[in-house]
A and B are shown apart, each in its own frame.
Chain A
Amino acid sequence: MAPTTCTISLTVNGHPHVAGVEPRRLLVDFLREDLGLVGTHIGCEHGVCGTCTVLLNGASIRSCITFAVQADGAEISTVEGLAHGAEMHPLQDEFSEKQGLQCGYCTPGMLMRACEILAENPDPTPAEVRSAIASNLCRCTGYQFITEAVIGAAARMRATKEVAS
């Protein structure tokens, strides 16, 4: 069968894109291969490890078990959209300071999942963070420093919000 091409239009980190994709193009491959956004990693390719986690309309999804065509019309957020120029996102700062990464392979997915966790609950307990990041595998850190980084970022983000309001 001759592969057909579908036209999709979507927003990635605030930038609109219109692209032709094969229906079987996975969203993670569209981001990495077609848009060159290689911050989103590919791990297991069957939805288990979570390193490909991105946000679709603000909700975390596995981009390795999502077709690009399913993201037609959606707003996608990836790790590349977290920092503002040289200014890191509080989560990125905290992951760095608290050593919330070693090899770094799981980090893009962890960061995007953490964004969703803190959007839903700006003041989670360590137990709540541990339970929530169980969706994402890390084989280096044992999760302790990741949990501490997320808690630290939550405090920073709450403080920033208070100053702003």
Chain B
Amino acid sequence: MKPPPFSYAAPTTLAEAVGLLTEHAEAEPRVLAGGQSLIPLMNFRLAKPGYLIDLRNVAGLSGIRREGDILVIGAMTRMSEVERSPEVAVAAPLLAEAVGLVAHTPIRNSGTIGGSLAHADPAAELPAVALASDADLVATGPAGTRRIAAAEFFSGPFSTALAPDEILTEIRLPLWPGGHAFVEFSRIHANFAVIGVAALIDLDGDRIGRAALAITGVAPTAIRATAAEGVLAGADATDVTAAAAEAAGATVAGLTPAGDLNASPQTRLALARTYLRRGIELATSRARNER
């Protein structure tokens, strides 16, 4: 189908964009980034915003930079730019690996980092990356700019801590010194993942010092796998097989996923167990430079 009519503006400053959101609040305005999630919803008429505020001309929202131990990515940075960035590959390899799993190249050429995070699809990869990385998300609204911890950002399926008049401007990812892995299961190559796992493992000699894990597809939003992280702290990193299985089991024991057309609750639990284990093993061996 075709999208319903709407009014449109492409402001050149963030202040102007925020002003338009406030001014046209009664039209239920939406921010347009790459449009790769919003426009399909509008074509299906599942979303009917009366006003679209396109960020493509707003200066300063796109780009990748380092601020000390933080990698900062502008919200309007295209996924394919992140995928190809040597800086991201070095500073946030978990993000680089995850972005490569988001849909297909033509979607990643338009789709943006900020758009995916603000859309907050429960099956999406980037929320899991933000959670596992303890990222901060930066938003600007009429009252100014604030940082929101990823742990506070994702409040439900397609809903976030962003107020209706706030715009996500950047994501700040602390550098992780250890190994990473993003692994997922999807029924068809590049489809939405049924289960996705983001894993970060830091070593303390031959032992795991710190583990940060997030998983999609088992709850209304991506969640941290804190029980598994607890099991892994101090585990022998030279042979992580048993600890990985125990850690996966600890998290899976606390999950009650809903079933849908893609997978029953039982299938999701089995996949969660397998992909948590695989993510932990791969991140650990990468931390040890084994692969």
Contacts of A113 in B (CB 8 A): 105-106
Tell me, rounded to whole Å, the shortest Cβ–Cβ distance linking A5 to chain B.
10
- Within 8 Å of chain A (Cβ to Cβ): is B110? yes
Question: Contact: A24 with B110, CB < 8 Å?
Answer: no
Does B5 lie at the interface of the complex (its beta carbon under 8 Å from any beta carbon of A)?
yes
Given A69-B10, A70-B54, residue A26 in contact with residue B3 (CB < 8 A) = yes
CB 8 Å contact bits of B37-70 with A (1 = contact, 0 = none): 0011011100000101010100000000000000
A83 at the interface (CB under 8 A from B): no
Within the complex, the shortest CB–CB distance from B99 to chain A, in Å, comes to 15
User: Interface with B: A10-18, A58-66, A90-98, which one?
Assistant: A58-66
In whole Å, how far is B64's beta carbon from the nearest beta carbon of chain A? 17
Q: B52, A23: Cβ atoms under 8 Å?
A: yes
- 10 tightest A-B contacts by CB? A135-B104, A23-B8, A46-B40, A59-B109, A65-B39, A60-B106, A24-B3, A3-B5, A61-B110, A47-B40
How many residues on A have C-beta within 8 angstroms of the other chain's C-beta atoms? 32
- Interface residues of A, Cβ cutoff 8 Å to B: 1, 3-4, 6, 22-24, 26, 29, 45-47, 50, 53, 56, 59-62, 64-67, 69-70, 72, 113, 116, 131-132, 134-135
Asked if B158 is at the interface (CB within 8 A of a chain A CB), the reply is no
Partner of B36, one of A1, A45, A65: A65
Does B162 sit at the interface, judged by CB under 8 A? no
User: Does B7 belong to the interface (CB within 8 Å)?
Assistant: yes
Residue of B nearest to A47 (CB): B40
A60 to B110 Cα, complex, angstroms? 9
**A66 contacts across to B, CB distance below 8 A:** 35, 39, 110
Chain B residues contacting A46 (CB-CB under 8 Å) are: 40, 43-44
B190 contacts A by Cβ under 8 Å = yes
Contact B40–A65 (Cβ < 8 Å): yes
Judged by a CB distance under 8 angstroms, whether B216 is at the interface is: no
Q: Which bracket fits the contact residues of B?
A: 20 to 34
Cβ of B107 within 8 Å of any chain A Cβ, yes or no, is yes
Q: Give A60 to B111 CA distance when docked, in angstroms.
A: 12
Which one of B27, B43, B189 has the greatest number of beta carbons of chain A within 10 Å? B43
B42 to chain A, nearest CB (A): 8
User: How far, in whole Å, are A17 and B10 apart by their CA atoms in the complex?
Assistant: 20
**Separation of A61 and B111 alpha carbons in the complex (Å):** 10
Q: In the complex, which of the residues B10, B39, B190 has the most CB atoms of chain A within 10 Å of its own CB atom?
A: B39
- Contact of B190 with A134 in the complex, beta carbons under 8 Å: yes
Q: B1, A50: Cβ atoms under 8 Å?
A: no
Q: In whole Å, how far is B33's beta carbon from the nearest beta carbon of chain A?
A: 10
**Chain A residues with Cβ under 8 A from B5's Cβ?**
1, 3, 22-24
Report if A45-B190 is in contact (Cβ < 8 Å); known contacts: A62-B106, A62-B107. no
**How far, in whole Å, are A47 and B36 apart by their CA atoms in the complex?**
8
Residues on A with C-beta less than 8 A from B52 are 23
Bound CA–CA A22/B5 (angstroms) = 8
Q: How far is the CA of A50 from the CA of B104 in the complex (A)?
A: 10
Write out the residue numbers on chain A whose beta carbons fall within 8 Å of the beta carbon of B2: 24, 26, 29, 45
- Asked if residues B36 and A116 are in contact (CB atoms below 8 Å), the reply is no
Can you name the residue of chain B whose Cβ is closest to the Cβ of A113?
Answer: B106
Give the residue of A26, A45, A60, A67 whose beta carbon is less than 8 angstroms from that of B105: A60
Quick check: A47 and B50 within 8 Å, CB to CB? no
| Residue from A6, A29, A53, A59 in contact with B8 in the complex, judged by beta carbons closer than 8 Å | A6
The verdict on B80 contacting chain A, using a C-beta distance below 8 Å, is yes
Q: For the complex, is B157 an interface residue (Cβ under 8 Å from A)?
A: no
Q: Are B105 and A64 in contact (CB under 8 A)?
A: no
Interface hits, B17-38 → A, CB 8 Å: 27, 32, 35-36
* Complex Cα gap A148–B68 (Å): 48
B6 x A23 contact (CB < 8 A): yes
- Contact yes or no, A67 B106, CB < 8 A: no
Q: Are A47 and B107 in contact (CB under 8 A)?
A: yes
B4 within 8 A of A: yes
